[in-house]
């Protein structure tokens, strides 16, 4: 039987031993609500949930900067990158250059530092994003999916968490859902619950995955995470007009940003029936608008 891992337990393998011990010793309320672990070279270790906590040298989680914070070393940054990539950074350079590294259990890591020629020369910080299942968090959105749904919100607002639960709820209701899980963040390769009537396609581009789903799976819904650019959108445009309902996400903080970003603005042409806008961070109020309402907003 496969071991079930949740929350911070799913990212321990990527952390140096000193930091593993400190994270493991944190109060359960901090660990259970954490959605980011930030390691910055020469800076304090930070664990972020609804509140950001800085970890002291003696392992205390402080909502303020402690007098003796635990300072992350350059060797710990390097070790974290090595652990995440399985000592094969060269094999994942394109993925890293495209934005972040996929991790086990649907987690991901953003890496910053010095790049040259599209290659990472020196890492200076790692931001580990922890995937979470929040059952029924998308329950209010199920009736809004009749003609497809775009979920938008700022970074860290829980867009993928909402999408994952929406897939699960629709699947539980007997709908056939195809998830194009390009980087394994929605389903964590089957470790996270996406429902009994869901088919997962991973290891492909969104365009390839959508084509495969339309050709072979007869889905009622196709779900995938954020469309990155106009080229990617053009490649999957057929999916939006196939009669299948599309569920996807986009990075935008408000109506103005939805209309100003080329990709999200393009989705207001009738490709998507409703737009769910997450206010603020995780658990923020969700406002649902039609494309017409978004376009008419000042």
Radius of gyration of the chain (CA): 20
pLDDT in tens, 230-247: 778 887 888 888 889 999
Beta strands in the chain (DSSP E): 36-40, 46-48, 52-55, 61-62, 101-102, 108-116, 119-129, 149-153, 177-180, 198-201, 221-224, 245-251, 274-278, 286-289
Enumerate helices (H) and strands (E) in the chain, giving the number of each. 11, 14
Does 63 have pLDDT greater than 50? yes
Instruction: Of 3-7, 157-161, 237-241, give the lowest mean pLDDT range.
Output: 3-7
Domains, the chain, in order of start with CATH, read: 7-129 (3.30.450), 139-296 (3.40.50.300)
- Band the pLDDT of 6: cuts 50, 70, 90: low
- Band the pLDDT of 5: cuts 50, 70, 90: low
Instruction: Of 184-193, 199-208, 280-289, give the lowest mean pLDDT range.
Output: 280-289
CB 172 within 8 A of CB 196: yes
CB 206 within 8 A of CB 227: yes
Tokens of 258: 């939805």
Counting other chains too, the contacts that 24-32 makes at CB distance below 8 Å and 24 or more residues apart are: 25/59, 26/53, 26/55, 26/59, 26/61, 27/61, 30/61, 31/7, 32/7
pTM here is 0.82
* Percentage of the chain exceeding pLDDT 70: 96
**Regarding predicted confidence, which is higher, 284 or 268?**
268
């Amino acid at each position: 039987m496969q071991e079930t891992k949740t929350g911070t337990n799913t990212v321990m393998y990527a952390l140096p031993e000193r930091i593993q011990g400190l994270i493991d010793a944190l109060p359960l309320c901090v660990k259970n609500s954490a959605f980011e672990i930030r390691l910055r070279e020469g800076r304090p270790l930070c664990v972020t949930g609804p509140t950001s906590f800085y970890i002291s040298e003696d392992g205390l989680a402080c909502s303020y900067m402690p007098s003796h914070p635990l300072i992350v070393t350059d060797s710990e940054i390097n070790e974290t990158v090595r652990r995440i990539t399985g000592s094969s950074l060269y094999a994942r350079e394109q993925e890293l250059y495209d934005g972040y590294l996929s991790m086990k259990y649907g987690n991901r890591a953003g890496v910053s530092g010095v790049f040259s020629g599209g290659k990472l020369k020196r890492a200076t910080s790692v931001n580990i994003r922890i995937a979470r299942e929040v059952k029924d968090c998308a329950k209010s959105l199920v009736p809004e999916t009749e003609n497809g749904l775009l979920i938008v919100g700022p970074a860290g607002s829980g867009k993928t968490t909402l999408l994952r639960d929406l897939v699960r709820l629709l699947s539980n209701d007997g709908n056939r859902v195809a998830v194009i899980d390009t980087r394994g963040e929605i389903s964590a390769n089957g470790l996270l619950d996406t429902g009994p009537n869901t088919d997962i396609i991973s290891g492909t581009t969104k365009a390839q995955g959508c084509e495969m789903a339309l050709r072979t799976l007869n889905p009622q819904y196709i779900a995938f995470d954020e469309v990155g650019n106009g080229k990617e959108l053009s490649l999957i445009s057929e999916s939006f007009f196939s009669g299948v309902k599309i569920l996807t996400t986009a990075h935008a903080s408000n109506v103005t940003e939805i209309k100003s970003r080329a990709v999200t603005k393009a989705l207001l042409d009738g490709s998507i029936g409703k737009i769910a806008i997450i206010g603020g961070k995780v658990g923020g109020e969700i406002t649902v608008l039609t494309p017409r309402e978004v376009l008419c907003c000042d």
